[in-house]
Structure 1
């Protein structure tokens, strides 16, 4: 009988998620292997039209390959070969092509195309020309599309062979143009091979430069070492070298590079990038340079300028709309001549001929010492700076200065030195100086404060002995003026200058000479008491400044034996001095000049006039009395009866003006504050004005 049993159902494959995944993966791998095989066999030559079309669409540029083309995996690196390839520039560029080469041969890590910077294991360029250019709208030739330009980011390259390759870089904002040529040279030895050497020239801010260098790539026998960079450049008389080890041939980001520079003037080096610095004498310096984006940091700075040393760190930040320079500097010993440029002098001229000759170079008139060097207003307004500088000692023949602490802040043309402090003769000077070039002409303010300082130490450089002198001095200078030179700001200034002498002692010899009390001086000289101290009760040397003319307001020094008074003043305009000092004795003196001692001349060449017209007149009167009466009567013309009124030291010690001064009895003083320094617009005096001034002196004294 027939078999009626139903046949078993056909076997169906298992439909599980794992099976599906394995099937899909196998398919993908199969297609990948098939694609790899097709590309490997054909070298991907058939992809040339697609490559030109896709690359042109993505970049919005014309991409052409007029020779052989290869694009395939060999075995895992992506190999790319193109002959007579070109990539066009945007229409605004000055050259037609961003890139053109007779031959390109490279091997790229495929994943780097997806996850980061292109990483080329090998690059061979033959007769390539690369044009990197910015325009005024901050677009560039290597950033595709309509967005703003990105900074240059070169691919990572492990090894390169270059022949006849050129690179041109142009940035109108930085005013930079560079043309470089690269050439690979194999060394004869077995340690270094395939050295990529380069040379070129260009200009930065209209300053021409030349550069040569090499990228030294180790060969196989070197066992995977890194690339050594050697670079030498020359610009504006400065020689710069850079050396370091790069992780790849084109990677200098965050890599420390040892940099050295030397030249005749450091200002010319920083001037290349638009940073204004006062002129210096010859310099040499070295530091470690690290580039991080648009920030260039120099650490471990060690160097010298002139006869002074310099250490610390500084940075140039070009990432914003304005260049920002920051620095933290230290100097062990600063030669005073090397500090001359900071007030406008040429240090070489100061060293060779003195301050007067240096001032003349700036346009100052004859016998002037205040420089007329114009502030670099435009340059000061295009970059910012924040600098801290400490100086341990300043080498100076006259004034002992040490412990300088300077903080500088330049913000859009406003230069502030605050605080600017230093120790001088065991005292301290603190100052705040501002030069605001935003205002036209420059608005300047000077605020200089002298803490109590020993007179003997302060004046030791001018021949004053310290022995027997315990007097102190403290003071303040506050002036405001307008102008684009230091001389102009002071010549137009207004304010007050006041130096206070608290209680102390001074050499008898010095005091008696200034009093012109010849009788007491001669007596003490024969008694051997020239070094006997004279007590200073209090003193004030004050000036009121208007339109650059400083008038005594007042000069009043009260000692144990006399009251010294001063009249006149000085001019910042033509730097002339016209002062007279007279001391009235508190005690009887048989032979006293009782006539003003004049201080005249200029800042550069001050003079002292001991034999004044008043003294000559008194001598004439004495001779007349001696002739008509007796020799003893002639002496009467020089007798000082000692009726000087002692000063109330309260107003003196507070630096009060002449109108507030009082005698020891509390009455207003009638011997200060009634004279002025009369000057014309150019700071000079007429004959009549000089005569009137002499009358005022005679009237007081």
Structure 2
């Protein structure tokens, strides 16, 4: 009736597999339970003993890993509490490498800390709390800048930048941080102490103070970190920092997520001082000098970027706003800024090109003029800091709405500055001026031993009446336009040196238009016509300009007229001579040749002399004195009427061909309409601009 089940029966095989699975599961659970038990036991042993027995193993392993001598003189504890790592050591020292100036990198009387375990597994160092008593930390670079004291392990591996672990809370007493960076000429010693606060909302306040030098400039700093009550989970720390250096004062305030965690923190900065350049000197970078300044901004650190946003303030009598980012891509300092000014005072532009800001502050525009060997000089001679601009790169966009200036209405300045490894470009630099537009591209190459500057400046057609309004011209009756271009190259590390060695061309072109009679007639010394028009109340009758060109060829800093030629309805005005960027001397003569008969015409040149900073206009030239002497002799020997004959202009000047004039051609290509040569307009050949001579008086009245 019953069937016997054999060993090889399927049901028996299923039963055996189930029993085997149960046994394996039991074994696995036993192993896991044993491991857990051992972990709990190890944890319990560590917790009970505080891991004190691990001290020699810690010293040996830590010394081997860091390639330094690690020693604990007193009590030692290392255990999980309950999950995070608790570390306690008395008399802990970590030695420095042999090249360092101090024996130990770190030493302390007591260090007691709690380190987050789980973040540490994923490579994030976070200290939940730290108690440090009488600690000394030595942060030092070697003289080559390739090794430092905090990069542990293999001494041949690349030195890493210093990164503080995130410390949530700290109590520090009697601790000093020492930092040395010989390549940056930077030395700092900071004392840190924690002060218990009586305010129950605060746990403690970490105060720090100290100072040092950077590039031989001393500085001091002080501040505090106010930690919130520890009952506030993940609380924040209020930072307050005050620093002074070279007359600059810096204040930083805000809130940090941790005592050493500045990443993403929203901070406020205030800085003021006599010269913004002296502040940037501490970064080892060169920026233009300024007059006294005051700035506020927000400050945030994102990765390797330090971002200054919402910047507002003043320098001198000008306002400044915008944003700036300082970063270190490829371990090279880079500055990126977007700045703007609503009103820029022209005096505040002076320091940018080398004028002394203190003199400008005290004397205004007159501070740009200095005496050099008894003569006035206005071209700035402050050297470009060529070595400093090799240390960083920059991109700056700067916009100005209005320029406060007496003589010329300038507005809407737009500047793009690019600095790439000592090649500085101001391109483009544009602004509106008196109804016209000026555009320029300036390149300063400091990559070469002798700095090379290229100038390309272009003035679009601009109304002469508006441009010269401050110099006696009026828009009423003046329709003439003016356009210009300057193309030069110079060698030298200052504006003066660059121009004093420059070669190139300067050209100002005047297309057809009208200009006030008074101004033109005074230039011609056409006394008869001027007086006649004055009494006939026709002083403002326009003089018609057919075309004009005022051009100079520049060779080795000496500019020679090439040509000076203005053709009007009644006259041909020519000029010769030139000026020197070397001495800043002027030696020009301008003379008019009438196309029609004129009585009492001087027919002699007006001299323009002196210096850039102190020009003179001398209508009493040698030719006029000779003519006056001849006239006086004729009057005495013959009659007064005969004396007048010496000042009669027969009016034999020919019309000028305006094509070459409007094309800005050189003097050798200028000609009259009938093909004749135009004389007295310069030749473009270099001349020696002499020192101004003492002006002689004529009959004691001039």
Return the TM-score normalized by structure 1: 0.92
Aligned to 2:43: 36
Q: Which moved more, 1:560-569 or 1:346-355?
A: 346-355
Q: What's the CA shift string for 1:641-676, capped at 9, x where partnerless?
A: 221111111000001011111212233434434585
Name the structure 1 match of 2:633: 624
CA offset digits 1:174-215 (Å, max 9, x no partner): 322221111111111122221111111122222221111111
Q: Deviations over 1:478-526 (max 9, x none)?
A: 2222223221221222211110000111011111111111111111111
Report 1:542-561 matches (<5 A).
542-561=551-570
Residue 286 (structure 1) aligned with residue 292 (structure 2): no
Cα offsets for 1:273-299 (capped at 9, x unmatched): 111123221111112223345432222
Task: Return the match for 2:586 from 573, 577, 587.
Answer: 577
Q: Which residue of 2 is the match for residue 64 of structure 1?
A: 71
Instruction: Judge which range, 530-539 or 436-445, deviates more.
Output: 436-445
Aligned equivalents of 1:109 and 1:516: distance in 2? Answer: 93
Indicate if the aligned counterparts of 2:600 and 2:647 stay in contact, CA closer than 8 A.
yes
Deviation string 1:403-459 (CA, Å, 9 cap, x unpaired) is: 111122223333222211111111111112222233333222222111111111111
Counterpart in the other structure of 1:142: 150
- Shift, 1:217, TM fit: 0.5
Would you say how many aligned residue pairs link Structure 1 and Structure 2? 678
Structure 1 equivalent of residue 670 of structure 2: 661
Cα distance between partner residues in 2 of 1:536 and 1:293: 64
| Aligned twin of 1:684 | 690
Shift of 1:12: 6.1
Select 1:53's aligned residue among 51, 55, 60: 60
Deviations 1:561-599 (A, max 9, x none): 111111111111211111111111111212211111111
1:699 matched residue in structure 2: none
Of 318, 322, 327, the match for 1:317: 327
Q: Deviations over 1:112-133 (max 9, x none)?
A: 2211222222111111111222
Q: List per-residue Cα deviations over 1:211-257 (Å, max 9, x = no partner).
A: 11111111146665311111111111111111121111111123232
314-323 or 633-642, which deviates more? 314-323
**Structure 1 unmatched ranges of 5 or more:** 1-5, 691-701
State whether residues 218 and 224 of structure 1, in contact with CA within 8 Å, keep that contact through their aligned partners in structure 2.
no
Q: What per-residue deviation string (whole Å, max 9, x for no partner) do you get for residues 5-54 of structure 1?
A: x9x99996744765554333322211111111111221211111121122
Tell me which of 201, 206, 216 is aligned to 2:216.
206
Question: Equivalent residue for 1:239?
Answer: 249
Equivalent runs, 1:83-122 vs 2, <5 Å: 83-122=90-129
Is 1:599 equivalent to 2:608 in the alignment?
A: yes
Match of 1:694 in 2: none
For the Cα contact (< 8 Å) 2:250–2:269, is it kept in 1?
Answer: yes
> What's the offset of the Cα at 1:636?
2.0
Corresponding residue SS for 1:320: helix
CA distance in 2, matches of 1:521, 1:542: 28
For each residue in 1:355-379, what CA deviation from the matched residue of structure 2 results, as whole angstroms up to 9, or x when unmatched?
A: 5654438x68631111222222222
TM-score (norm 2): 0.92
Superposed, 1:628-647 pairs within 5 Å as 628-647=637-656
Residues 73 and 353 (structure 1 numbering): CA distance in 2 closer, same or farther, change over 3 Å?
A: closer
Q: How many angstroms apart in 2 are the aligned matches of 1:47 and 1:674?
A: 95
Name the structure 2 match of 1:168. Answer: 178
1:347 paired to 2:357: yes
Q: For residue 534 of structure 2, what is the aligned residue in structure 1?
A: 525
Distance 1:677 1:353, change over 3 A: farther
After superposition, what is the alpha-carbon deviation per residue over 1:336-355, rounded to whole angstroms, capped at 9, x for unaligned?
Answer: 11111122111331343355
Pairing of 1:173-212 with structure 2 (within 5 A): 173-212=183-222
Give distance in 2, aligned partners of 1:578 and 1:568.
Answer: 6
Query: Which residue of 359, 381, 384 maps to 1:375?
Result: 384
CA contact (8 A) 1:375 1:485 kept: yes
Q: Does 1:216 align with 2:220?
A: no
2:698 corresponds to: none
> Which of residues 60, 63, 88 in structure 2 aligns to 1:81?
88
Asked if 1 retains the 8 angstrom alpha-carbon contact of 2:140 and 2:149, the reply is yes
SS at match of 1:473: strand
What residue in structure 1 maps to residue 488 of structure 2?
Answer: 479
1:185–1:193 Cα contact (<8 Å) kept: no
Q: 1:425 aligns with which of 397, 422, 434?
A: 434
Q: Secondary structure at the match of 1:607?
A: strand
Show the counterpart of 1:249: 259
CA deviations on 1:251-270 (whole Å, 9 max, x unpaired) are 11232322211111111100
Distance 1:301 1:208, change over 3 A: same
CA distance in 2, matches of 1:178, 1:101: 19
Q: 1:672 to 1:189 in 2, by over 3 A?
A: closer
Q: Secondary structure, in 3 states, of the residue corresponding to 1:272?
A: helix
Superposed CA offset, 1:600-634 (max 9, x none)? 11111111111222122222222333334433332
Alignment partners' CA distance in 2, 1:181 and 1:111: 32
Aligned equivalents of 2:654, 2:28: Cα separation in 1: 114
